[in-house]
Amino acid sequence: MHYTARIAVPASLILVLALTLAGCTESATAPAAGKPGPAAGAAGPQHDHAADHDHDHALPADLPAGIAALKEHHQEIKAAFAAGDAEKAHDPLHHVGELLEALPELGRTAGLSAEQLATLTKSVDQMLAAYGQVDEAMHAGTAPDYDAVAAELDAALAAIEGLAASR
Protein backbone atom coordinates (compact mmCIF):
# COMPACT_ATOMS: atom_id res chain seq x y z
CA MET A 1 0.00 0.00 0.00
CA HIS A 2 1.24 3.46 -0.79
CA TYR A 3 2.56 5.42 2.23
CA THR A 4 -0.10 8.17 2.07
CA ALA A 5 -2.86 5.58 1.80
CA ARG A 6 -1.66 3.99 5.05
CA ILE A 7 -2.03 7.38 6.74
CA ALA A 8 -5.30 8.36 5.04
CA VAL A 9 -7.24 5.27 6.06
CA PRO A 10 -6.45 5.50 9.80
CA ALA A 11 -6.99 9.27 9.72
CA SER A 12 -10.39 8.85 8.09
CA LEU A 13 -11.30 6.14 10.59
CA ILE A 14 -10.36 8.43 13.47
CA LEU A 15 -12.46 11.23 11.97
CA VAL A 16 -15.52 9.03 11.56
CA LEU A 17 -15.17 7.56 15.02
CA ALA A 18 -14.86 11.04 16.50
CA LEU A 19 -17.91 12.25 14.59
CA THR A 20 -19.92 9.16 15.45
CA LEU A 21 -19.02 9.02 19.12
CA ALA A 22 -19.13 12.76 19.76
CA GLY A 23 -22.40 13.46 17.99
CA CYS A 24 -23.88 16.86 18.56
CA THR A 25 -24.02 17.68 22.20
CA GLU A 26 -23.90 21.45 22.24
CA SER A 27 -27.13 22.65 23.70
CA ALA A 28 -29.44 24.98 21.93
CA THR A 29 -30.09 28.31 23.49
CA ALA A 30 -33.73 29.26 23.68
CA PRO A 31 -34.45 32.76 22.49
CA ALA A 32 -35.94 35.22 24.93
CA ALA A 33 -39.68 35.74 24.73
CA GLY A 34 -40.57 37.73 21.65
CA LYS A 35 -37.04 37.42 20.21
CA PRO A 36 -36.42 35.43 17.03
CA GLY A 37 -34.23 32.34 17.22
CA PRO A 38 -31.18 31.70 15.05
CA ALA A 39 -31.73 31.83 11.32
CA ALA A 40 -32.19 28.52 9.57
CA GLY A 41 -28.82 27.22 8.44
CA ALA A 42 -26.90 29.70 10.59
CA ALA A 43 -23.51 28.39 11.57
CA GLY A 44 -22.61 28.09 15.18
CA PRO A 45 -23.20 25.95 18.23
CA GLN A 46 -26.95 26.52 18.51
CA HIS A 47 -27.96 23.00 17.56
CA ASP A 48 -28.80 20.08 19.77
CA HIS A 49 -30.10 17.08 17.97
CA ALA A 50 -28.70 14.42 20.27
CA ALA A 51 -32.30 13.64 21.17
CA ASP A 52 -32.93 12.90 17.48
CA HIS A 53 -30.51 9.98 17.63
CA ASP A 54 -33.00 7.52 19.09
CA HIS A 55 -34.02 6.11 15.71
CA ASP A 56 -32.43 3.03 14.21
CA HIS A 57 -29.29 3.49 12.14
CA ALA A 58 -28.79 -0.14 11.21
CA LEU A 59 -26.15 -0.60 8.57
CA PRO A 60 -27.15 -2.13 5.24
CA ALA A 61 -26.97 -5.89 4.89
CA ASP A 62 -25.20 -5.90 1.52
CA LEU A 63 -23.27 -3.72 -0.92
CA PRO A 64 -26.21 -2.77 -3.18
CA ALA A 65 -28.21 -1.64 -0.14
CA GLY A 66 -25.16 0.22 1.17
CA ILE A 67 -24.67 2.07 -2.11
CA ALA A 68 -28.39 2.92 -2.27
CA ALA A 69 -28.27 4.28 1.29
CA LEU A 70 -25.10 6.26 0.50
CA LYS A 71 -26.77 7.82 -2.53
CA GLU A 72 -29.84 8.71 -0.43
CA HIS A 73 -27.75 10.39 2.30
CA HIS A 74 -25.63 12.16 -0.31
CA GLN A 75 -28.71 13.59 -2.02
CA GLU A 76 -30.23 14.63 1.32
CA ILE A 77 -27.04 16.47 2.34
CA LYS A 78 -26.64 18.05 -1.09
CA ALA A 79 -30.28 19.24 -1.13
CA ALA A 80 -29.98 20.74 2.36
CA PHE A 81 -26.93 22.78 1.37
CA ALA A 82 -28.56 23.81 -1.93
CA ALA A 83 -31.51 25.11 0.11
CA GLY A 84 -29.13 27.00 2.41
CA ASP A 85 -30.05 24.83 5.42
CA ALA A 86 -26.75 23.47 6.72
CA GLU A 87 -28.33 22.33 9.97
CA LYS A 88 -30.70 20.02 8.08
CA ALA A 89 -27.61 18.34 6.58
CA HIS A 90 -25.91 17.79 9.93
CA ASP A 91 -27.61 14.61 11.12
CA PRO A 92 -27.32 12.83 7.75
CA LEU A 93 -23.71 13.99 7.61
CA HIS A 94 -22.96 11.95 10.72
CA HIS A 95 -24.84 8.93 9.40
CA VAL A 96 -23.08 9.02 6.04
CA GLY A 97 -19.76 8.64 7.88
CA GLU A 98 -20.96 5.47 9.59
CA LEU A 99 -22.21 4.14 6.28
CA LEU A 100 -19.00 4.96 4.43
CA GLU A 101 -16.95 3.09 7.02
CA ALA A 102 -19.10 -0.02 6.45
CA LEU A 103 -18.81 -0.05 2.65
CA PRO A 104 -15.35 -1.66 2.28
CA GLU A 105 -16.40 -4.64 4.38
CA LEU A 106 -19.64 -4.91 2.40
CA GLY A 107 -17.50 -4.86 -0.75
CA ARG A 108 -15.31 -7.70 0.55
CA THR A 109 -18.40 -9.70 1.50
CA ALA A 110 -19.84 -9.09 -1.97
CA GLY A 111 -16.71 -10.57 -3.52
CA LEU A 112 -15.36 -7.46 -5.23
CA SER A 113 -12.03 -7.95 -6.97
CA ALA A 114 -8.88 -6.41 -5.51
CA GLU A 115 -9.08 -3.64 -8.12
CA GLN A 116 -12.72 -2.93 -7.30
CA LEU A 117 -11.98 -2.90 -3.56
CA ALA A 118 -9.16 -0.43 -4.17
CA THR A 119 -11.55 1.83 -6.09
CA LEU A 120 -14.15 1.51 -3.36
CA THR A 121 -11.66 2.25 -0.58
CA LYS A 122 -10.19 5.25 -2.42
CA SER A 123 -13.66 6.66 -3.08
CA VAL A 124 -14.74 6.08 0.52
CA ASP A 125 -11.61 7.87 1.79
CA GLN A 126 -12.27 10.81 -0.54
CA MET A 127 -15.86 11.11 0.65
CA LEU A 128 -14.88 10.81 4.31
CA ALA A 129 -12.31 13.56 3.92
CA ALA A 130 -14.69 15.87 2.05
CA TYR A 131 -17.63 15.32 4.39
CA GLY A 132 -15.21 15.65 7.30
CA GLN A 133 -14.21 19.15 6.13
CA VAL A 134 -17.85 20.19 6.05
CA ASP A 135 -18.64 18.70 9.46
CA GLU A 136 -15.48 20.14 11.01
CA ALA A 137 -16.51 23.62 9.88
CA MET A 138 -19.97 23.13 11.38
CA HIS A 139 -18.52 22.05 14.73
CA ALA A 140 -16.04 24.95 14.65
CA GLY A 141 -18.93 27.38 14.28
CA THR A 142 -17.95 28.52 10.81
CA ALA A 143 -20.08 28.34 7.69
CA PRO A 144 -19.32 25.09 5.85
CA ASP A 145 -18.34 25.42 2.19
CA TYR A 146 -20.13 22.45 0.66
CA ASP A 147 -19.57 23.81 -2.84
CA ALA A 148 -15.81 23.43 -2.34
CA VAL A 149 -16.17 19.64 -1.97
CA ALA A 150 -19.33 18.97 -4.01
CA ALA A 151 -17.57 17.94 -7.23
CA GLU A 152 -15.23 15.60 -5.35
CA LEU A 153 -18.17 14.01 -3.53
CA ASP A 154 -20.14 13.58 -6.75
CA ALA A 155 -17.16 11.98 -8.52
CA ALA A 156 -16.44 9.58 -5.65
CA LEU A 157 -20.11 8.59 -5.45
CA ALA A 158 -20.16 8.00 -9.22
CA ALA A 159 -17.14 5.70 -8.87
CA ILE A 160 -18.88 3.74 -6.11
CA GLU A 161 -22.10 3.52 -8.12
CA GLY A 162 -20.02 2.26 -11.06
CA LEU A 163 -18.98 -0.71 -8.95
CA ALA A 164 -22.62 -1.67 -8.49
CA ALA A 165 -23.27 -1.32 -12.22
CA SER A 166 -20.30 -3.56 -13.04
CA ARG A 167 -21.61 -6.43 -10.92
Q: What is the pLDDT of residues 44-62, one digit of tens each?
A: 333 333 334 444 568 899 9
| Domain-located, residue 117 | yes
Nearest to 89 by CA among 133, 146, 51, 37: 146
| Domain-located, residue 85 | yes
pLDDT of residue 32: 35
Reported as a pLDDT band with limits 50, 70 and 90, residue 164 is confident
| Domain-located, residue 38 | no
| Cβ–Cβ < 8 Å for 129, 101 | no
Between 20 and 79, residue with greater pLDDT: 79
- DSSP element (H, E) containing 61: none
Q: How many domains does the chain have?
A: 1
Enclosing domain of residue 158: 3-17+58-165
Reported as a pLDDT band with limits 50, 70 and 90, residue 167 is low
* ∠ CA 54-58-64, rounded to 5°: 145
Residue 104 scores a pLDDT above 70: yes
CA atoms within 13 A on the CB side of 23: 10
> Hey, CA dihedral for 149, 158, 18, 15, is it positive or negative?
negative
| Domain-located, residue 64 | yes
